[in-house]
Structure 1
Amino acid sequence: MTDRETSTHQNAAEFAWQDDDVFGRIASRYDTLCDVFSLGLHRLWKRRVARCIAREDWNTLLDGATGTGDIILRLLPATSAQGRTIIASDISPRMLAIAAQRLRPSTAVSLRQLDMERMPSIANGSVDAYSISLGLKICDRQLAMQEAFRVLRPGGRLIVLEASNIRWRWLHRAYLAYMGVCMPLLGWLATGGDASAYRYLLQGVRDFPGAEALARELAGHGYVDVSFERLSLGIVAIHTARKPAERADGVGRAGEPGEMAVAPRGRPLDVPSGLGPGRSVRIDPHDQCEPEPCLDRPPRLPHLWKAHRPHAG
């Protein structure tokens, strides 16, 4: 098990928006930064997330850390928004202002300034689907996952795109070395010398837990049907999970604000060690591995996205 998998940092980037309005300062250059740091791959990742959301059955969607609205922009052409409620939220007013300009033709989207760690204006069990893209590493992820559990309805889906770990350690070390050497220079040039913009990103990528560890954390918060799919060799992963459906005995009932869910009963959650890039795994109390519907057919994208599946027998 790597240090990333055993990371105890709850806010991987150690970022506090109350102390540093970095996203307000770089809002106008944020999309350029995303292209620079990911070499354009973030566009493919977000398109994949939008497809996952579109395949879900939802009436109310909350998109956390929406930034400049990339996920919603990719979602609207893929699904009908008629009769649905879409809430695009972010902690930065300037990011939301840009999102508002980009989403202006759509009347189905409501933009709100929300802190993912605490959203008192969102009622218990009021959201059918909740997406967070590249925002979990810059907040207290335990509080954010707990708050997501509260606002989701029983049976509601959580979809998270976040930094992950490349399975081959030598390649992951090389990737981190590249990030550590090249990204500060590229970030400095792209932001006009704002060092904090890339410092938070680098630390968040370096200290965020690996895919297996994050899956265990989600299960520990009470989510079921937890699965993940590594993309681009494991640079990022899409995690999906559900809040348990409500039963007659009360299990799965929406909790009160701040209430910690009880982890699912059963055997300890073990993650197979032989997972390759692009493969998804379901984490449940019985260790059943099964791809989620939205993860079973990777789109035809560059070879970095190619899925590796086990041979029968």
Structure 2
Amino acid sequence: MRHQKLKNAAEFENTRDDVFERIASRYDLLCDLFSLGIHRIWKRRVSDLVSEEPWDNLLDVASGTGDIVLKLLQKKKLLSNQKVIVSDICRKMLSIAERKIDDYRENIRFERINAHSINEIDSSSIDVYSISLGLKICDREKAMQEAFRVLKPGGRFVSLEASNIPFNWLHNLYLFYMALCMPFIGWVATGGDSSAYKYLLHGVRDFPSAEDLKTEIESIGFEKVKYERLSLGIVAIHIAVKPECA
């Protein structure tokens, strides 16, 4: 078993470590270094999937520096009835997102939001909830329960997250590469701040497989759960629907 059910894979708690506040200005660089730039392709796929869904209200959680929403806005202009909430628990990350999305400010709202308790959002008020590379540093159960609560019946849950390469030997080789290279890359890019790569490494290593995450999402109450592996399965996108009768 690669994980404990509905656990915080990275064992990260923002009240104990403000690592993302410290590395916010270098976060985009770290993503490029750790993924060799492939994260841009993953995020573009998420934005494409979100843009294909019918929605008036989109909530992007753990937005980081705003890449998903930026790619969505670059792809297509929002309709007058469409509203987007860009959110993150880290103030500095959110500030960077605001600057990056500055040219598309119409119908965009920025909120500092904790994925575990989205008190700022009414129940059954969101059409699409998206979260990218954020579940690994959350208590997945709490985050997905809140996603379920804020979504309207029939609303979509979209998640991009670390996953498993179906071939065990290749997956183990990938984890070995991550364990070998990530500490050095992270240490150089962050000026010796070990937290940045420690949480990411744990989150990747201990996150559930695509199949197990599908089961977890279903246990929250979502239906029609499907997933798409990207880059051989290094990551996967899961899409689920809140039942109409919920």
1:105 Cα offset (Å) = 1.2
Q: CA deviation at 1:120?
A: 1.1
Q: Which amino acid aligns with 1:29?
A: R
Kept after mapping to 2: 8 A contact 1:155/1:243: yes
> Match for residue 23 of structure 1?
20
Tell me if the contact between 1:187 and 1:198 (Cα under 8 Å) persists in the aligned partners. Answer: yes
The aligned residue for residue 102 of structure 1 is 100
Cα shift readout 1:108-143 (whole Å, capped 9, x = no counterpart): 211100000101110000000000000000010000
Map 1:202-217 → 2, pairs under 5 A: 202-217=201-216
Contact 2:21 2:93 (8 Å CA) reproduced: yes
2:102 aligned counterpart, secondary structure: coil
Aligned ranges 1:241-256 → 2 under 5 Å: 241-246=240-245, 252=246
The CA deviation string for residues 169-216 of structure 1, in whole angstroms up to 9 with x for no partner, is: 011111000000111000101111110000000000001100000000
- What SS does structure 2 have at the residue aligned with 1:161? strand
Cα distance between partner residues in 1 of 2:117 and 2:224 = 24
AA in 2 matched with 1:203: H
What residue is the counterpart of 1:67 in the other structure? 64
The answer to whether 1:49 aligns with 2:46 is yes
> Structure 1 unaligned runs (5+)?
247-251, 253-313
Contact kept, 8 Å, 1:36 with 1:186, in 2: the verdict is yes
Equivalent-residue separation in structure 2 for 1:105 and 1:79 (angstroms):
13
Q: 1:74 to 1:215 in 2, by over 3 A?
A: same
Alignment check: 8 A CA contact 2:6 2:216 kept: no
1:129 maps to 128
Give TM-score, length-normalised by structure 2. Answer: 0.97
3-state secondary structure, aligned to 1:131? strand
Which residue is 2:161 aligned to? 162
From the two aligned structures, give the one with the greater helix fraction.
2
1:91 corresponds to which of 85, 89, 92: 89
1:8 Cα deviation from its structure 2 partner: 3.0
Aligned with 1:105: secondary structure?
helix
Q: CA deviation at 1:237?
A: 0.1
Structure with more contact order per residue of length (Cα contacts < 8 Å, sep ≥ 6)? 2
Query: What is the Cα deviation at residue 81 of structure 1?
Result: 1.2
Task: Please name the residue that 1:148 is paired with.
Answer: 147
User: What residue in structure 2 maps to residue 14 of structure 1?
Assistant: 11
1:165 and 1:51 mapped to 2: Cα distance? 22
Q: Does 1:40 align with 2:37?
A: yes
Question: What is the identity, as a one-letter code, of the residue corresponding to 1:72?
Answer: V
User: Which one has the largest radius of gyration?
Assistant: 1
List gaps (5 residues or longer) in structure 2. none
CA apart distance, 1:9: 5.6
Q: Work out the number of aligned pairs and report it.
A: 244
